[in-house]
Structure 1
Amino acid sequence: FLAKQARYARIRAETLVRQGRRPRRRTYLGQPARELWRRFVTLQGYRDGSVGLFLAIAMAWHELHTWLLARRLWRAADRNGTGRRDVPAGWPAGVELPEASLDLSVVIVSYNVREHVLGCLETVYASLRGSGLRGQVIVVDNASSDGTVEAVRAAFPGVEVIANRENRGFAAANNQGIRRARGRVVVLLNPDTRVASDALGRLVRYLDENPAVGVVGPRLVYPDGRTQPSRRRFPTLLTGFLESTVVQDYWRDNRVLRRYYVADRSDDETQEVDWLVGACLAVRREAIETAGLLDERFFLYSEEVEWCWRIRRAGWRVVYLPEATIYHHESASAGQEPAARQIAFDTAKVQLYRRLHGRPAAEILRAFLLVNYLARIAIEGSKWLLGHKRALRRERIARYWRAFGSGLRPTRP
């Protein structure tokens, strides 16, 4: 425990320097005192008697240790003339969030899924009541036309609603909610989910008990009870040419995709992973402050992959926790516009490859995906000629032709 806390103190100290936050004289007394109060009183550590007192004192000491390390790093930076540690070029910068005054903040982004949002909010509040957590719920609506904003305000007056006048995209809308978050843990939750019993409490407790973990995600379950695969490794150069392409349609069982989908491990055990499907992610506040917000250049899809990649590079772990369960109706918002979904998915994939593997790899992947559309058009056209479900074939040909015509180039910043 003490070793983990020492490592965590080092990570936080580097974060403070990176954000340009210098300790002042009162910091060395005020911050440890605040942490002692939070652990022993606010989080009710007094219920555990002497053990709770010991842990509260230990955490207060490590808070002091953090700021002493930060002072040492600042002095070294000043001697070297660097002044502060800059964020690498092209990365979203670290961010300072509002002061944490709650256990968690739940951020839900909606787009024309009114009934899903209302059902999700019911289970969120039930989970908060059952866990005893003090929480904040934020709904960011991306210009829905189905009355989502009015319905949420009427049914859940305690929800903070941000009503955008245009669809700003999933990453940008989540960032709007994160900037208002007052919880020490921020949970990004899809509107087409249902929270099972104490899932939120389990996620928050796991982060409390594992200070080196920056992100933890639950088991995702389809409405019929099947586990939805949500664990992933970062894509290799080959992954993009197989995953969700015509190649995977005819060659599903291959070593590259088994690695990508973490098929060598059971989804019934807690495990560290590279990234998790973003239907529900519980993120430690300090991890967000270290790595920055979601990259808003990703309009839809792959934003959680890039974010987890950045969070891991900042020294945090990402963990899958199957004992917490979230039911997920997959792609409720995106599924409304199949062609737009296809374009967004593959455009984001190209953007991700540019970040992870460089521009040449991304451009090769872009060209391959465009050829992939032509191959799909040929396959669907041959089925149409054979008279097999011609209406469906026409719809798919139109979808792939539209995707091909897009060039898979992002139209938003």
Structure 2
Amino acid sequence: MIAILIVSWNVRELLRACLGSLQRYPATLHEQRITVVDNASGDGTLEMLRRDFPEVCVVANATNRGFTGGSNDGLRHIAQSATPACVLLLNPDTEVTPGALDALLACAEAHPQAGVIGPQLRYPDGSVQSSRRRFPTFWTALFESTWLQPIAPRAVLDHYYVRDRRDDEACEVDWVVGAAMLVRWEAYRQVGGLDERNFFMYSEELDWCRRIKAAGWQVFYEPRARVVHHEGQSSAQVSAQRMIYFNTSKVRYFAKHHGRVPAGLLRAALLGMFAWQWGLEGAKWLLGHRRALRAERMRAYARVLRSGLR
């Protein structure tokens, strides 16, 4: 049996499309059971699930527990009633394509030491979305997803994004993006769930894959399994908070796995970038250039600076 776990927050229509794709293209190699953890959505998600998908098991959280806490809630709920071969963590803004689930399961059967398997993610227009990674270095963290990324030395990010391997080439990697990741139940039982003490959202799958690999398992990328990912639809609803979560998680990952000094240097560098961006937006505001936009961005950057990324 394969357990499919979806954590959702205020993306009712995307969740409906995700569940519809699982109905149209189910796993055939194993029975599938779907669990949705709703993180206190206010958009009618629970009513939609009860009306349109009565076969889905629903865990209704009273508060938003984030991707990490919600996933752990779902994993514990699954463990109370079943022992699946694997659990597929799937974002609600994804849609599986024909044969995707069976391709993941076939990869798991072909590689008994695979603790985690990630599919090839696609944008809605059909282009490939980068989803396989090597573990980040300090320099990777400094450049990746910051305003310095366009000037990053090519070798730094090429290594991180595994650009030396073709997109259609199955391979072992260090970690895969958590929008869709198949985890062997035995690996989960061995290392435990996601680290919700350090990560509300972002970097939790990186940390989990690192722990799973440290326990002797492998992580694979399987491009025959394709999943469409609409990317960031929940977190995009709160942009300033998203920046805080993303960068705080990055710093906490480095503190956990590389020590306080690298984490402190990274925090200072990231805060310095946000201070620079705040000043740049302020200068544009003083010049009268799109003042409403500049003020909005200044407020967002100020919130990040006040957080201290801690």
- TM-score between both structures, scaled by the size of structure 2: 0.95
What letter is aligned with 2:39?
N
Q: Which residue of 1 aligns with 2:72?
A: 175
Q: Quick one: structure 1 residues 321 and 132, their matched pair in 2 at CA, closer, same or farther if it must change by over 3 Å?
A: closer
1:186 aligns with 2:84: no
SS at match of 1:246: coil
What letter is aligned with 1:312?
K
Offset, 1:241: 1.4
1:128 aligns with 2:29: no
Q: Which residue of 1 aligns with 2:155?
A: 255
Q: Are the equivalent residues in 1 in contact too, given 2:6–2:37 (CA < 8 A)?
A: yes
Q: Distance in 2 between matches of 1:311 and 1:278?
A: 14
TM-superposition CA deviations, 1:106-141 (whole Å, max 9, x none)? 000000011111110011122216x25311100001
TM-superposition CA deviations, 1:67-119 (whole Å, max 9, x none)? xxxxxxxxxxxxxxxxxxxxxxxxxxxxxxxxxxxx20000000001111111
Which gives a bigger RCO, structure 1 or 2 (Cα 8 Å, sep 6+)? 2
SS at match of 2:304: helix
SS at match of 1:238: helix
What CA RMSD, in Å, does the superposition of the two structures yield over aligned residues?
A: 1.4
Rg larger in structure: 1
Q: Distance in 1 between matches of 2:244 and 2:230?
A: 21
- Stretches of structure 1 that go unaligned for 5 or more consecutive residues are 1-102
Offset, 1:355: 1.4
Q: Quick one: structure 1 residues 337 and 105, their matched pair in 2 at CA, closer, same or farther if it must change by over 3 Å?
A: same
SS at match of 1:107: strand
What letter is aligned with 1:176?
D
Q: Distance in 1 between matches of 2:24 and 2:259?
A: 45
Q: Distance in 2 between matches of 1:331 and 1:253?
A: 26
Alignment equivalent of 1:215, drawn from 110, 116, 123: 116
1:149 aligns with 2:46: yes
Q: Which residue of 2 aligns with 1:379?
A: 280
TM-superposition CA deviations, 1:358-408 (whole Å, max 9, x none)? 112112211211111101112222333444433322221111111001111
SS at match of 2:306: helix
1:276 aligns with 2:176: yes
SS at match of 1:146: coil
What letter is aligned with 1:262?
V
Offset, 1:247: 1.8
- TM-score between both structures, scaled by the size of structure 1: 0.72
Please identify which structure carries the higher helix content: 1
Map 1:21-100 → 2, pairs under 5 A: none
1:241 aligns with 2:142: yes
1:166 aligns with 2:63: yes
Q: Are the equivalent residues in 2 in contact too, given 1:105–1:137 (CA < 8 A)?
A: yes
Alignment equivalent of 1:287, drawn from 182, 187, 199: 187
Please identify which structure carries the higher strand content: 2
The number of aligned residues is 305
Alignment equivalent of 2:35, drawn from 121, 130, 138: 138
Alignment equivalent of 2:210, drawn from 300, 306, 309: 309
Identity %: 50
Q: Are the equivalent residues in 1 in contact too, given 2:115–2:219 (CA < 8 A)?
A: yes
- Stretches of structure 2 that go unaligned for 5 or more consecutive residues are none
